[in-house]
Chain A
């Protein structure tokens, strides 16, 4: 008999149907994957099981957990079930913890509340639980606060809270999406071990097919609030009976078509030369007017890029990638070293002397929602870099240039009169690219431009970037922790670790035969749908 049974679940919020006739079941000790793109209803399914739906939600159907009908349970009983019977791990470890409470208190909280345990007992159990998730009390005392931990360590705390009462069902909503690939593997391993140890059921929600394939026994594919396909993981993903399943799988493995490296044919003048660049941040204040050891974010980095040639900068989170990018974009000043862009030194220039360099160098940012001023229309947003031109263009010139830029990224002129909130995440990233190319730059620094996007949208954006590279000769400095993305559109790779560049070479060469330890760790941890599927097929026959 299964642990969680969802039959014919439908959910409306207001008059808007969100979920339609969902059927999902999870057996004890089983890992069920729930896959779908953003807006498909994955998270709301999880919130229905927890009965944490937003105001105005109306559900029909049947959800039973260990024989208890959840939809008919009142709030008071639900409070007893949450935490004790169902635990939940959230996506964002930065916001899932209370910043004002120590990690010990937060893990012990549920134990004290549900088991009526004394403070000391609860603390002891919290200590054991934190030790189990890899935070032993000798190194991570219970009195630590969340801000003293890294992202991966915080996610371990969240898992410890969710599993502290040994719930029968664990729901993990994109538990590794905010983490880099190396941490992702560690967290997924931990979740799998906990499931086998306690015979928990795990409902793993993810948009990443490779992760789901690696982890789950069965999967359910969700689209627009409906179950499209469900079954054993290996079988479902290899047969790909439903066209949408095939589309998802192909998008996850997508490699854009690129004409043979345009860089080779062009001249060999260096576009960007970085020489022994270092950036120190003052250490945290230890006393009044006294600072600790400075923190070296970027440590003696030198490299150069040729025109039209795309380079990936890969590394784990916190390795200094973004600091390096900001210095190249002249948004931050280095502590030492120089940056030359098209034979012009930009590190000693004042803002108004940088116009020429900025015209040749633009940026695309990670968050498609945060990178536009919500109060301006697209026309103003996209034409913002035209401020860099020597002569301010007339109104019609601006409009024409904006229309051209939009056409380049596959949007239509009437989009210019809309506000950013009227666009989807993928369309916004197109707008972001349109803004970056409107001054016809030679270099675009892209900081994780596709990591916030769904797989199918990601494939489209990668295609667009590859296309712009071959047509307009734009070189990318592509910052990512995702090696499949690096493989897809760059010629060269630089691997960064602890502020230094530890390895550099042709993309294929490094990804297939990594030399340095950092690169090897990244390559080994990178989720790969082909590999995962082959392994799963062997397991499940």
Chain B
């Protein structure tokens, strides 16, 4: 701690202390790091090759050789979950990126300009919001064909209004502050003010929303690949594994259990991370701890 204190200054040190004493943040962080690590490890090593089918070993229960058992083609489930993590993370990450990359500028623009533009942007948001996200994602992938890329785009589009709303609400609470008036008397235009003053002050809001949308993204990807519209075989994905397991629930329950647990734990982890971040970064919640 003393090392951190000298490196980061008092303020960051107290932030770090608060972060480490927040249980949901720590648990969420551990899970998130673990999932990311598993996905990275899968690039260099997995217990078995996930594309090789060994029919002789099919639907084996968990054992020392196959910790999580094998599926109906004899593929190792642990290896599939490891490789599937890549896909889940990539889809969720890029989808959050699309949502933030388009939604945040839109929200900031709406807040900065106001008037008809604000009205137009927000009503467009309402329109996108009005469709159930998964249903529309199915529509998009059905039209443009299934695949990881289309899943990403579909989930990303539905992240846009979420970030646009959060960014707009945050920006609107910053605009009337006196330091914005001061920046305007310094001749700074709306774009410059948004970049220099508004964004840093709403960054924490966006970070919290980002981690929650990330969890939702993983869930949405699992849902899309469950109905066969996500990553295509032979690329393993958690949702597809669940689909394959469905008809074999009674004979091979481990086929459903482990991918299901992977999804549940990852989503839980990122939700906890988001909650924890919100607690740590919101000064009003400090007293409660």
Residues of A near any B CB (own CB < 8 A): 54-55, 326, 329, 331, 351-352, 354-355, 358-359, 361-363, 365-367, 370-376, 381, 384-388, 419, 432, 435
Other-chain contact of A351, B11, B182, B183, B187 (Cβ < 8 Å): B187
Q: Is the CB of A362 within 8 A of B201?
A: no
CB within 8 Å for A385 and B201 given contacts A365-B178, A371-B179, A372-B179 = no
Give min CB distance, B127 to chain A, whole Å. 21
Q: Report the 5 A-B pairs with minimum CB-CB distance, sorted nearest first.
A: A371-B178, A385-B186, A370-B178, A365-B178, A384-B186
Q: Is the CB of A384 within 8 A of B188?
A: yes
Other-chain contact of B184, A331, A366, A386 (Cβ < 8 Å): A331
Q: Is the CB of B177 within 8 A of A370?
A: yes
Give min CB distance, A459 to chain B, whole Å. 23
Give min CB distance, A504 to chain B, whole Å. 25
- A355–B188 CA distance with the chains assembled, in angstroms: 9
Task: Please report the total number of B residues contacting A with Cβ < 8 Å.
Answer: 19
| Residue B66, interface by CB 8 Å | no
Other-chain contact of B200, A329, A373, A419 (Cβ < 8 Å): A373
- A432–B181 CA distance with the chains assembled, in angstroms: 12
CB within 8 Å for A370 and B200 given contacts A351-B187, A385-B186, A387-B186 = no
Give min CB distance, A416 to chain B, whole Å. 15
Residues of chain B within 8 A of A55, CB atoms compared: 287
| Residue B18, interface by CB 8 Å | no
Pick the most buried of A352, A359, A370, A372: most chain B CB atoms within 10 A of its CB. A370
Residue ID in chain A nearest B198 by CB atoms: A373
CB within 8 Å for A371 and B187 given contacts A54-B287, A419-B11 = no
CB within 8 Å for A435 and B182 given contacts A373-B197, A374-B201, A375-B201 = yes
Other-chain contact of A331, B177, B179, B181 (Cβ < 8 Å): B181
- A362–B196 CA distance with the chains assembled, in angstroms: 20
Give min CB distance, A150 to chain B, whole Å. 20
| Residue B185, interface by CB 8 Å | yes
Which of chain B's residues 179-214 have a Cβ closer than 8 Å to chain A? 179, 181-189, 192, 196-197, 200-201
Residues of chain B within 8 A of A355, CB atoms compared: 187
Which of chain B's residues 151-182 have a Cβ closer than 8 Å to chain A? 177-179, 181-182
Give min CB distance, B194 to chain A, whole Å. 12
Residues of chain B within 8 A of A432, CB atoms compared: 182
Residue ID in chain B nearest A357 by CB atoms: B187
Residues of chain B within 8 A of A54, CB atoms compared: 287
- A504–B177 CA distance with the chains assembled, in angstroms: 32
Secondary structure of the B contact surface, majority rule: helix
Total A-B residue contacts, Cβ distance less than 8 Å: 65
Pick the most buried of A326, A351, A358, A384: most chain B CB atoms within 10 A of its CB. A384
Residues of chain B within 8 A of A374, CB atoms compared: 201
Residues of chain B within 8 A of A365, CB atoms compared: 178, 181-182
CB within 8 Å for A375 and B189 given contacts A365-B181, A370-B177, A435-B182 = no
Residues of chain B within 8 A of A329, CB atoms compared: 185
Q: Is the CB of A373 within 8 A of B184?
A: no
Secondary structure of the A contact surface, majority rule: mixed
Residue ID in chain A nearest B200 by CB atoms: A375
CB within 8 Å for A363 and B187 given contacts A54-B287, A370-B177, A373-B200 = no
Q: Is the CB of B178 within 8 A of A354?
A: no
Pick the most buried of B11, B177, B186, B189: most chain A CB atoms within 10 A of its CB. B186
CB within 8 Å for A366 and B201 given contacts A331-B185, A351-B189, A358-B187 = no
Q: Is the CB of B182 within 8 A of A371?
A: yes
Q: Is the CB of B186 within 8 A of A366?
A: no
Q: Is the CB of A384 within 8 A of B201?
A: no
Residues of chain A within 8 A of B181, CB atoms compared: 326, 331, 363, 365, 371
Residues of chain A within 8 A of B201, CB atoms compared: 373-375
Residues of chain B within 8 A of A326, CB atoms compared: 181
- A213–B184 CA distance with the chains assembled, in angstroms: 42
Q: Is the CB of A388 within 8 A of B178?
A: no
Residues of chain B within 8 A of A388, CB atoms compared: 186-187
Q: Is the CB of A366 within 8 A of B287?
A: no
- A57–B188 CA distance with the chains assembled, in angstroms: 45
- A492–B187 CA distance with the chains assembled, in angstroms: 29
- A54–B288 CA distance with the chains assembled, in angstroms: 11
Residues of chain B within 8 A of A367, CB atoms compared: 178
- A331–B182 CA distance with the chains assembled, in angstroms: 10
In addition to A362-B185, A384-B188, 10 A-B residue pairs with Cβ atoms within 8 Å of each other are A55-B287, A331-B181, A352-B189, A359-B187, A371-B179, A375-B200, A376-B197, A384-B182, A387-B187, A388-B187
- A370–B179 CA distance with the chains assembled, in angstroms: 6
CB within 8 Å for A385 and B185 given contacts A365-B178, A367-B178, A370-B179 = yes
Give min CB distance, B201 to chain A, whole Å. 6
Pick the most buried of B178, B187, B197: most chain A CB atoms within 10 A of its CB. B187
Residue ID in chain B nearest A421 by CB atoms: B11
Residues of chain A within 8 A of B11, CB atoms compared: 419
Give min CB distance, A454 to chain B, whole Å. 20
- 20 of the cross-chain contacts (CB-CB < 8 Å) are A329-B185, A331-B181, A331-B185, A351-B187, A351-B189, A355-B187, A358-B185, A359-B187, A361-B185, A367-B178, A370-B177, A370-B179, A371-B179, A373-B183, A373-B201, A375-B200, A376-B197, A384-B182, A387-B188, A388-B186
Residues of chain A within 8 A of B187, CB atoms compared: 351, 354-355, 358-359, 385, 387-388
Residue ID in chain B nearest A329 by CB atoms: B185
